[in-house]
Amino acid sequence: TGLIRTALMNMDREAKEYYEVIIQAKDMGGQLGGLAGTTTVNITLSDVNDNPPRFPQKHYQMSVLESAPVSSTVGRVVAKDLDEGINAEMKYSLVDGDGLDVFDINTDPNYQVGIITVRKPLSFESKKSYTLKVEGSNPHLEMRFLNLGPFRDTTTVHISVEDVDEPPVFEPSFYFVEVPEDVEIGTTIQIISAKDPDVTNNSVRYSIDRSSDPGRFFYVDVTSGALMTARPLDREDVSWHNITVLAVELNNPSQVGSVSVTVKVLDVNDNAPEFARFYEAFVCENAKAGQLIQTVSAIDRDDPQEGQHFYYSLAPEAANNPNFTLRDNQDNTAWILTRRSGFRQHEQNIFYLPILISDNGRPMLSSTGTLTVHVCSCDDDGMVMSCNAEAYVLPVSLSRGALIAILACIFVLLVLVLLILSMRRQRKQPYIIDEEENIHENIVRYDDEGGGEEDTEAFDIAAMWNPREAQLVVKNRQDMLPEIESLSRYVPQACIMDNNVHNYVLAKLYEADMDLWAPPFDSLQTYMFEGNGSVAESLSSLQSVTTDSDQSYDYLTDWGPRFKKLAEMYGATDSSGALW
């Protein structure tokens, strides 16, 4: 029939998976002389789940830092299964040990390994090691092969927790403090406590993160952690403070812990009630007694637990006021009523009524507010027409003609003032030098017209060439004195020199300082006198020295050791004749 059947029982794919069988077919019933043909048949054994998983190691040793975050990987375990495909799939779980609530294990579906992870934060100081029992099993079982089982295996994992230098830890992890706003400066409101969780238990130092307390209302003691007030507290300004206290290890300042401290400022009755706004009332001249003219209310910055309640009354100095009375409505408002009729503007047009406002706090605080009452003229319906007592006097005292005359006089006065200011400014207008002109001569102003180029009496220009000769020969103008002489009297005598140019410059400087209308167009000309007629003689370096041999620098040796280097440069000789 050509049917191929197995010849052995319990063939093992894991031992031999592939078979090659050669099949021969003969004709003539297999008799001698018949023909034969062959073919090859390849047979592959399919896998069944007949091999249970087995851990190659019965003990695993792992370690993890105590600072490892949650869900971080601690290590891996693997169970071997000779099957393949779905029959080799694994499922890992923790079945026993003292770290079941601290660690967890997950199965990697690609590589069929168990990954142990951190489930809760670790602490070397609390527990240094853990032991886990890990089980690996096949999730897909075949009932006919259960007798080959069990299809699961277990291994033991030892995990060591390694110590790291941790920042200080606060206990508790959050602080809530209530403080009355009238607490004295320096009062301890809370003791902040932190400690080093490491075995070394280093000392800690406390401080406040100033970014959380910009107003510097609080201070913490460096060593004890006592949180104190450093400034007066005011609930009405800042009712809540959220500050951060830092703890630093003394031996390792890089380890810093922090904790949040919430401070609630409790209310104290320290603000007196006052009017909610500025009140101004109006009463008609035809008002009747008992008429309501104003309703007042008050505010208080405090916030008592039992709520706000205000009491109103007239101030003691106005308790027997004959004009107005007050009625407390018991709802934090009060009415101001007229006590009489017959108010008249010409008698008194403004009344000031002091009102005493008290609160229900402990201690009770009060303040006095003033209500301004204006007497006004009203129509028959009570509508205010005018509240100015002089409104009836002004129209009859000034006529239209008088008003026009007053305006005309004011206009004339304004014109005269403008004219005077214009003339005064024109008179003090300074002489402006054209920037394009290059003027190097002195400008002298005369009150009358001179003789043009032939007029040589105005100023002797030779004084600028040789001041010594100018002192001997002074040419004076016969018909009028030049301006230089008239202005020189303003110059202090201690500054006057026998030099016409110097006097002229000083006089002009004084005139510029005293003239407030002069624009800043001054031009400073500096004249240096040098040459044969000068005291300093010639300052030119062209003819100072003809040759090096003409000049002797021996005097430099007499100036001392400070000028020794200079004497060496110019080849000076000392008294002994030696060249320096």
Query: Is there a single domain that holds both residue 287 and residue 304?
Result: yes
Query: Is there a single domain that holds both residue 283 and residue 364?
Result: yes
- Residue 3: inside a domain: no
pTM for this structure? 0.48
Output the average pLDDT for the chain: 80
* Secondary structure in 3-state letters for 294-352: EEEEEECCCCCCCCCCCEEEECHHHCCCCCEEEEECCCCEEEEEECCCCCCCCCCCEEE
Domain count, the chain: 3
* Secondary structure in 3-state letters for 375-414: EEEECCCCCEEECCHHHHCHHHHCCHHHHHHHHHHHHHHH
CATH code of 148's domain: 2.60.40.60
Question: In the sheet that 256-266 helps form, which strands lie side by side, from edge to edge?
Answer: 174-180, 256-266, 240-249, 204-208
Query: Is there a single domain that holds both residue 287 and residue 375?
Result: yes
State which residues form the domain around 255. 169-266
Query: Is there a single domain that holds both residue 212 and residue 300?
Result: no
Q: Domain ends where: 386, 417, 450?
A: 386
Query: Is there a single domain that holds both residue 89 and residue 153?
Result: yes
Which pLDDT score is estimated for 463?
52
Share of the chain above pLDDT 70, in %: 77
Query: Is there a single domain that holds both residue 284 and residue 382?
Result: yes
Kindly indicate the confidence band of residue 520, based on its pLDDT and cuts at 50, 70 and 90: low
Distances (CA, A) of 81 to 89, 373, 456, 507: 8, 104, 133, 119
- Residue 373: inside a domain: yes
Q: Domain ends where: 366, 386, 406?
A: 386
- Residue 536: inside a domain: no
- Rounded to an integer, the average pLDDT of 341-358 is 90
- Residue 438: inside a domain: no
Q: Which of 287, 191, 181 is nearest to 234 (CA)?
A: 181
- Residue 461: inside a domain: no
Query: Is there a single domain that holds both residue 283 and residue 372?
Result: yes
Query: Is there a single domain that holds both residue 348 and residue 251?
Result: no
Query: Is there a single domain that holds both residue 246 and residue 286?
Result: no
Query: Is there a single domain that holds both residue 152 and residue 182?
Result: no
Kindly indicate the confidence band of residue 479, based on its pLDDT and cuts at 50, 70 and 90: very low
pLDDT, tens digit, for every residue of 360-415? 888 889 999 999 999 998 887 778 888 875 444 444 455 677 888 899 999 999 99
Main-chain phi, psi angles of 249, to 5 degrees: -70, 135
Which pLDDT score is estimated for 396?
45
Block residue for tokens 């920037």: 435
Query: Is there a single domain that holds both residue 381 and residue 278?
Result: yes
- Residue 117: inside a domain: yes
Query: Is there a single domain that holds both residue 204 and residue 300?
Result: no
Question: What is the bridge-based pairing of β-strands 366-378 and 350-358?
Answer: antiparallel
The residue that leads in pLDDT, 557 or 102, is: 102
Which parts of 428-466 fold into alpha helices (H)? 462-465
pLDDT, tens digit, for every residue of 101-132? 999 999 998 889 999 999 999 988 889 999 99
Which pLDDT score is estimated for 473?
45
